[in-house]
């Protein structure tokens, strides 16, 4: 009765109240030719146990990340999420809350968003951060539009080492504007040279660190070149745990930092939801999309929080809005903030070191296999492998052996045949030595 609360008597009473003789009469304005004469070919209602059994059978077709050796990454990472995170975010005051249109009524919600913003600003090396966006892909698109507003220029340059989802969403979002997007070809070998490609018409250059193919880069020189011609540097981060060890983008001169926050506090969930992190310099504050929570004092001098900036079309006129994204990933942001608080600064750094160490160990084991080459010389917890066989076929063969052994790049770039033999492999603190040995043995067998 939770899902089907109306009886037939209820329906008849409702029809009588509006003067309709039947449910079909409610659809009389729809031409008869457009209506189905027979029910849709779907199962009719069933008992709760039957439905649970059906869905359980369907779910069993999936190979859950925690059930087998797992080396997938490519923008979504498996980390251990402390039980405390789920215990707290499932409290009713968090799970069901929504900031009302008098937001200061929800002091608890505003406080945790303020703490979240502070954490994001600290780990990215930036001065201000917003209260989150949908995911890193939409954050990239918003960053490009923001850069165009700030510089009053209409050209955006996207690195070939930018995640293809971030690239695609940015191109799709800006295609109906007057902003031109130049997206460079994917760059698995690290041959791309952005220096010299920035000119007086460029609004921003968007790069990723670590890159999509795993390569770590020093972006200081690129930032200096961008600033020399009045352009902005936008840096995307797909793996937020890397910020516990890698020099933060802000310290390398980035003007805007966007990131995917899923890896902290949020499970994979077969692909979503994500959490968009967005941080910038204070001087660009009013061009930042989304919402900003600020700290203040009330009439009695007590500490409190307010919605300081809300440049979304939900709050102001659409044509004046910096963004038309109408919500933030509030519960995911809370999970991120709780996880990072539990780790603390020292724990965050230790977690990052552990991730890097596991990846280095795995790369060493795989590089010893005949015909296998690790492409990036420096990486964090993910790297690209060049295989002697088609990577998609290898991944399928590994899955048949109950090993999720990486993501074929061809799934993202099917029109680039030169990438057919490139496999992305990730290792985190959840990757055991036994998992690595099983992966190396299975890969050796598949490649024979």
pLDDT in tens, 74-103: 999 999 999 999 999 999 888 876 666 677
Residues 119 and 258 in one domain: yes
- Reported as a pLDDT band with limits 50, 70 and 90, residue 270 is confident
What would the pLDDT profile of 383-437 be if each residue is shown by its tens digit? 999 999 999 999 999 999 999 999 999 999 999 999 999 999 999 999 999 999 9
Task: State how many domains the chain has.
Answer: 2
Residue predicted with more confidence, 7 or 56: 56
What's the pTM value of the predicted model, to 2 decimals? 0.89
Residues 176 and 272 in one domain: yes
Mean pLDDT of 322-346: 89
Mean pLDDT of 57-77: 93
Q: Residue 406 is part of which domain span?
A: 65-80+345-447
Asked if the model's pLDDT at residue 228 lies above 50, the reply is yes
16 domain residue, yes or no: no
Asked if the model's pLDDT at residue 313 lies above 60, the reply is no
The CB density around residue 267, as the number of other CB atoms within 10 Å, is 16
418 domain residue, yes or no: yes
* pLDDT value for 425: 98
* pLDDT value for 387: 98
Residues 396 and 324 in one domain: no
CB 63 within 8 A of CB 399: yes
CATH number of 385's domain: 3.90.1150.10
User: What residues contact residue 140 under an 8 Å CB cut-off, 6+ apart?
Assistant: 162, 166, 167, 169, 170, 206, 234, 236, 258
* pLDDT value for 322: 77
Residues 167 and 282 in one domain: yes
Residues 190 and 281 in one domain: yes
Mean pLDDT of 94-116: 82
Q: Across the chain, which distance is largest between two alpha carbons, in Å? A: 78
Q: Residue 37 is encoded by which pair of tokens?
A: 């004469």
- Reported as a pLDDT band with limits 50, 70 and 90, residue 219 is very high
- Reported as a pLDDT band with limits 50, 70 and 90, residue 145 is very high
Residues 417 and 272 in one domain: no
Residues 149 and 203 in one domain: yes
Q: Give bridge partners of residue 197 from the DSSP assignment.
A: none
C-alpha span between 374 and 227 (Å, rounded)? 34
Instruction: Compute and round to an integer the Cα radius of gyration of the chain.
Output: 25
Mean pLDDT of 234-241: 98
Residues 162 and 219 in one domain: yes
**Mean pLDDT, all residues of the chain:** 93
What would the pLDDT profile of 158-189 be if each residue is shown by its tens digit? 999 999 999 999 999 999 999 999 999 999 99
Mean pLDDT of 364-388: 97
Q: Pick the closest to residue 138 from 305, 281, 273, 340 (CA basis).
A: 273
* pLDDT value for 92: 87
332-365 burial: b if 16+ Cβ within 10 Å, else e: bbbbbbbbbbbbeeeebeebbebbbebbeebbeb
The H-or-E segment that residue 362 falls in is: helix 330-367
* pLDDT value for 317: 66
* pLDDT value for 94: 87
* pLDDT value for 1: 45
CB 300 within 8 A of CB 151: no
Return the DSSP state at 198: -
The H-or-E segment that residue 156 falls in is: strand 155-158
Q: Residue 307 is encoded by which pair of tokens?
A: 């919605």
Residues 304 and 292 in one domain: yes
Q: Residue 177 is encoded by which pair of tokens?
A: 């504007």
- Reported as a pLDDT band with limits 50, 70 and 90, residue 125 is very high
Question: What is the percent of the chain with per-residue pLDDT over 90, rounded to a whole number?
Answer: 81
What would the pLDDT profile of 9-47 be if each residue is shown by its tens digit? 999 999 999 999 998 899 999 998 998 888 888 888 888
40 domain residue, yes or no: no
Return the DSSP state at 27: G
């Amino acid at each position: 009765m939770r899902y089907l609360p109306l009886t037939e008597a209820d329906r008849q009473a409702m029809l009588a109240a509006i003067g309709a003789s039947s449910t079909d009469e409610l659809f009389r304005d729809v031409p008869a030719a457009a209506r189905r004469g027979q029910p849709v070919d779907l199962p009719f209602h069933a008992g709760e146990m039957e439905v649970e059994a059906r869905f359980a059978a369907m779910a069993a077709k999936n190979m859950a990340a925690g059930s087998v050796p797992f080396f997938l990454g490519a923008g979504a990472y498996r980390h251990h999420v402390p039980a405390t995170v789920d215990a707290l975010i499932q409290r009713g005051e968090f799970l069901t809350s929504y900031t009302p249109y008098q937001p200061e009524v929800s002091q608890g919600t505003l406080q945790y968003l303020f703490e979240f913003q502070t954490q994001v600003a600290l780990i990215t090396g930036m001065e201000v951060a917003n209260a989150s966006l949908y995911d890193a892909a939409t954050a990239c698109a918003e960053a490009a539009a923001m850069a165009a507003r700030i510089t009053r220029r209409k050209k955006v340059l996207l690195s070939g080492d930018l995640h293809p989802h971030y690239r695609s969403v940015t191109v799709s979002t800006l295609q109906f504007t007057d902003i031109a997007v130049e997206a460079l070809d994917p760059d698995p070998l690290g041959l791309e040279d952005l220096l010299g490609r920035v000119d007086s018409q460029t609004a921003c250059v968007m790069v990723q660190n670590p890159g999509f193919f795993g390569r770590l880069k020093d972006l200081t020189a690129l930032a200096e070149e961008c600033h020399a011609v009045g352009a902005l540097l936008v840096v995307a981060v797909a793996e937020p745990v890397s910020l516990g060890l890698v020099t933060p983008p802000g310290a390398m001169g980035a003007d805007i930092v966007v990131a995917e926050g899923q890896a902290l506090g949020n499970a994979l969930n077969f692909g979503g939801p994500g959490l968009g992190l967005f941080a910038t310099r204070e001087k660009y504050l009013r061009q930042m999309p989304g919402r900003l929570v600020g700290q203040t004092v009330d009439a009695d001098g007590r500490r409190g929080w307010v919605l300081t900036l809300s440049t979304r079309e939900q709050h102001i006129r659409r044509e004046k809005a910096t963004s038309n994204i109408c919500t933030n990933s509030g519960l995911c942001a809370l999970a991120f903030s709780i996880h990072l608080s539990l780790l603390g600064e020292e724990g965050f750094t230790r977690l990052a070191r552990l991730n890097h160490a596991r990846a280095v160990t795995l790369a060493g084991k795989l590089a010893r296999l005949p015909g296998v080459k690790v492409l990036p010389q420096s990486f964090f917890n993910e790297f690209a492998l060049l295989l002697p066989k088609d990577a998609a076929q290898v991944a399928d063969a590994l899955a048949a052996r109950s090993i999720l052994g990486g993501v074929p790049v061809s799934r993202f770039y099917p029109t680039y045949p030169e990438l057919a033999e490139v496999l992305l492999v990730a290792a985190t603190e959840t990757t055991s030595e036994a998992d690595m040995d099983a992966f190396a043995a299975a890969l050796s067998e598949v490649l024979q």
